[in-house]
Amino acid sequence: MKLIDSHCHLYDFYNNGDLEKVLTRASGANVKHLVAIGTSPQDFEINCSLAKNFSNINYTVGVHPLFHGESVPNFEPYLTADKTPIAIGEIGLDYHSLPADSRDEIVAAQKNLFIAQLRAAKKCGLPVALHSREAFADTFALVAESGISGGKILFHCYGYGVEEMRAINELGAYVSFSGTITYKNAHVLREALRIANKDRLLIETDCPYLAPVPHRGEANEPSFLVHTARFIEEFFSNDCAGILDKIFDNTVQFFHLKIQ
């Protein structure tokens, strides 16, 4: 088994001094490569330096919709750095639990930030890691308007149903499942996984959040990806042999990874 964690946040591990141990455990669990995802200008620099120091880490730059108060970032210094990002992300829309009294303003701010970053992605040609929660129609519409081709779009931590998956399949976009797919009540997700395009499927931890069963509720880390991987292997055991190799190849293809 060889795995790639297509979406992880290493900032806390780095700050707590735990990163080396976490990376050792990841390689012990066959996680060969990691994509350290940006969420705000605060973590761009750290992720860039991790990518410089560890040959099995690449990084992305992007401002998460929950940081909608941030101004539009200048990606330029990173795009011309020694170690360049492999994608723009995570960017998108998140309408979960918005306060009723400021919902419209927050939605507008998220959209502005998202549109500006989609433009930057289109301009530099990098693929896009999307964060989309309870905002599928708007996310999809803005992606379509951006003119970025489906093959450069990844819906990370898939959290929608069958209908949305059909739209994603039609667009030709990629989709990544996290440990939430292992949760007992995740029936809707599993129905969507069943019809996902196997040539566009990725997996991730989204650590330190969303640890898979049997670690649900604990702090998540890249080594736990193995549980999500085994779950998906078992899920497709009757109709798709070699799914984990396919997922590995899909990830390399989407991010244009050069794995040594």
CB 101, min distance to Zn ion, A: 27
Residue number with CB closer to Zn ion (43 or 206): 206
CB 73, min distance to Zn ion, A: 16
Phi/psi zone of residue 175: left (φ > 0), alpha (ψ -120 to 50 degrees), beta?
beta
Residue 49's identity, in one-letter code, is S
Q: Is 183 exposed, middle or buried (0-12, 13-18, 19+ CB in 10 A)?
A: middle
Helix (H) or strand (E) holding 31: strand 31-36
Cis, peptide link before residue 222, omega less than 30° from 0: no
Residue number with CB closer to Zn ion (128 or 243): 128
∠ CA 135-139-141, rounded to 5°:
125
| Size of site (CB under 5 A) for Zn ion | 1
CB 37, min distance to Zn ion, A: 5
Residues in 152-191 at the binding interface with Zn ion, rule: CB under 5 A? none
CB 67, min distance to Zn ion, A: 12
Helix (H) or strand (E) holding 113: helix 103-124
∠ CA 61-21-247, rounded to 5°:
55
Residue number with CB closer to Zn ion (94 or 206): 206
Residues in 206-225 at the binding interface with Zn ion, rule: CB under 5 A? 206
d(CA 224, CA 151): 27
Question: Which three-class secondary structure state does DSSP give residue 159?
Answer: coil
CB 21, min distance to Zn ion, A: 21
Contact 182, 214 (CB under 8 A): no
Residue number with CB closer to Zn ion (64 or 227): 64
d(CA 134, CA 137): 9
Residue number with CB closer to Zn ion (222 or 236): 222
Residues in 189-208 at the binding interface with Zn ion, rule: CB under 5 A? 206
Residue number with CB closer to Zn ion (5 or 206): 206
CB 206, min distance to Zn ion, A: 5
User: In the complex, which residues of this chain contact Zn ion (CB under 5 A)?
Assistant: 206
